[in-house]
Amino acid sequence: MSNIVAIVGRPNVGKSTLFNRLTQTRDAIVNEEAGTTRDRHYGIAEWCGREFSIIDTGGWVVRSEDIFEEEINKQVNIALEEADVILFVVDVLSGLTDLDDGVADILRRTDKPVIVVANKADNYEQHAAAAEFYSLGLGDPYCVSAINGSYTGDLLDKIVSVLPEAQQVEAQDELPRIAVVGRPNVGKSSLINAFIGEERHIVTDVAGTTRDAILTRYNKFGLDFYLIDTAGIRKKNKVNEDLEYYSVIRSIRSIENSDVCLLMLDATRGIEAQDMNIFSVIRKNRKGLVVCVNKWDLVENKEQAVIKTYTAAIRERLAPFTDFPLLFISALTKQRILKALESAKEVYDNRRKRIPTAQLNDIMLPIIEQTPPPAWKGKYIKIKYITQLPAGSVPSFAFFCNLPQWVKEPYKRFLENKIRENWDFSGTPINIFVREK
């Protein structure tokens, strides 16, 4: 198990910029607006052969009118409990503030190593100004410039020197990645909190609370994979903040980097155009799909006829891809949420399923012989052999025939439907290739 380093401090001192510098990524959103980071955000850093996790936290604030203040402070406290080393980031340009004193007062009570990082020290004159941070009583301040990387090597040397010895565990890089996606305020963070049994993610009634894509390990009830909570995706004409624009981009990237997506719909609003846009991103990236209709506890009429109407309407809107699990859940009451995880795992297994070539030919060739491809300009197309291509991200099948260029999309969909009828590939797209024998 790798060590954990938490980055804390008041708002707008450059914590997310330092996080991106140490992890050599752009995973944390950086903006001049204070309070940009809200959830704990995790990354991996490596220095001198030592690998450790880094947590970026929201800015510590007190007596603020911001609705997120209490939740952000709660997340910072959780990060402090998890961390082995704490980086207390201050701003050389702004100097020592009352908020810095308040954070330092909390950190002095911990028995964990605390390193004072004097950020925005771009020249030697600013290095001299960092002397006032000795008054915090937390040791020598390390002057760095996170934006250009100056002296971050010295900081990393110090971090490595105070890290405890890491416990060695088997790497789990090949675990499935399940992304929870949907438009804002549909209940994505509430669902993940219900999964893992703790308030891992900030939940409020304000749409767009989650801005970064957050990775969470789930290992319960015989299931083991990563859950990805993403920022809500809104219509383009409603993305009027630069912050939210970058959140949308990261949500799309989370879909691209996932194996299976849990697409959450709002039972009180039905399926809307923005849900279709998210679905199109999932389809374009050929990802597995489980559709979860959330807030089912708010629907008064739950008769079987109503459920059938909901199901038919959703599958009709998502056609021609209709072979996916569809569940009616409630993140608030935890109704059928475990079934959602089990379905996601089944979809992941379907993506990795291999059909023996002999079995494939025994079943599919008689079907093709009974319903051959339409003749084209008097030429008859004969499919002689079928095989599943080597394992990839999506199940792919090659059909070998004499005139592959004349096999059109409608017949490829026919072949895909026959494969789905005979083998369970629910929730996963299938690639059909027609090649010359």
> What sign results for the dihedral spanned by CA atoms 254, 255, 261, 262?
positive
pLDDT digits (tens, 9 = 90+) for 154-202: 999 999 999 887 554 343 457 888 988 887 778 877 887 787 765 444 4
The span from the CA of 248 to the CA of 260, in Å, is: 18
State yes or no: pLDDT of 1 exceeds 80. no
User: Measured between alpha carbons, how far is 215 from 225 in angstroms, rounded to an integer?
Assistant: 10
Given pLDDT bands bounded at 50, 70 and 90, which one contains residue 209?
very low
Beta bridge partners of 397: 388, 432
- 141-143 vs 214-220, strand pairing mode: unpaired
State the pLDDT at residue 170.
40
In angstroms, the Cα distances linking 199 to 39, 182, 195, 293 are 11, 20, 10, 22
Sheet holding 326-328, edge to edge: 214-220, 223-229, 177-181, 260-266, 288-294, 326-328
Q: Which residue has the higher pLDDT, 358 or 207?
A: 358
Confidence of residue 81 (pLDDT cuts 50, 70, 90): confident
* pLDDT digit string, tens, across residues 254-294: 777 789 999 989 888 888 877 887 887 788 788 999 999 99
pLDDT at 234: 45
Of 29-33, 86-90, 227-231, 308-312, the range with the lowest mean pLDDT is: 29-33
- Position with higher pLDDT, 48 vs 229: 48
Q: Are strands 85-91 and 114-119 parallel, antiparallel or unpaired?
A: parallel
Q: What are phi and psi of 332, to 5 degrees?
A: -70, -45
Sign of the torsion angle spanned by Cα atoms 302, 308, 310, 314: positive
Helices 273-284 + 242-257 axis angle, to 10: 50
- Per-position DSSP letters for 240-299, written without gaps between them: -SHHHHHHHHHHHHHHHH-SEEEEEEETTTB--HHHHHHHHHHHHTT-EEEEEEE-GGG-
| Least confident among 167-176, 215-224, 273-282, 320-329 | 167-176
Tens digit of each residue's pLDDT (9 = 90 or more) over 22-80:
888 765 544 444 444 444 456 678 888 887 878 777 665 555 555 445 655 565 666 67
Its pTM stands at 0.58
